Homo-oligomer: A and B are copies of this chain.
Amino acid sequence: MTMSHVGELMPDVRLDRGSPVPLYFQLALQLEQAIEDGRLAEATQWANEMTIADQLRLSRPTVRQAMQHLVDRGLIVRRRGIGTRVVASHVRRRVQLSSLYADLDRAGQRPSTAVLSLRQVDGPSDVRAALAVAQDEQIWEVVRIRSANDRPIAHLTNYLIATGLELTAGQLQSGSLYGVMAKAGLDIHSGVQTIGARNASAEEAKLLAAKRGEAMLTVERTVFDDSGRALELGRHLYVANRYAFTMNLPPALP
């Protein structure tokens, strides 16, 4: 194990050349951490690539690879002839597949889940089409109520392909749906979602302790694995005056 460090315009970076973690990634992680910690202020100019490479005994392409990682995440800006600096702290996290559970957990809201029903069904025809399941194939249907501090927030209906996926109410109560899917080897690559709104029906209002006609947020989300296979489709209903979606808009790609 060999360590290096730099001191001036760069935070202390320690590279472990014996680690299986790539050098560029070790550097990117530590730079990212330094930005989060405020050790690399927003305005300050960075040392240039050559200097960093020399000090860390890395080649320039390796340093560039680490920096490109930060550029892709919108954390730094680089300009030819000018240099590198940290962008402001307003945005850190990219828009990504997030779950309501994690969102609530982050906000310290003590989320809880009640599984209303969990069964294998045929399901609506448009859902079957979206999931591209065979004619004789059943799918999982999960209906849940999500609450924060014991106050209902959302009514969640999810349909999942059943192949190779075992679901129990206990799993769903203790964790997020995507966590369960990941454990079953269903790896999400990307997805598409539509956010809309509508007035609550009497039944929905009752389930969510809201008023009939109250504005509700609707989300329909479908996620795919990297072969393009649809894994899951969710239809969610949120009480709009208790929950809203906040998302970061990443830098536009060239």
Contacts and interface: CB of A to CB of B under 8 A. Distances in A.
Contact of A61 (B61, B72, B222): B61
Interface of A: 42, 61, 72-74, 77, 87-91, 94-97, 188-199, 213-217, 221-224, 226-230, 240-241, 244-253
Contact of A215 (B216, B244, B252): B216
Contacts of A90: 190, 192, 222, 224, 228, 230
A85 to B, nearest CB: 8
Nearest to A79: B226
A213 B224 CA distance: 36
Given A95-B95, A196-B217, A197-B197, 9 more contacts: A74-B190, A88-B228, A90-B192, A91-B190, A97-B252, A193-B247, A196-B244, A199-B199, A215-B240
A153 to B, nearest CB: 13
A248 B192 CA distance: 4
Contacts of A253: 72-73, 94, 96
A223 B245 contact: no
A197 to B, nearest CB: 4
B198 A240 contact: yes
B198 A241 contact: yes
Contacts of A196: 217, 240, 244-245
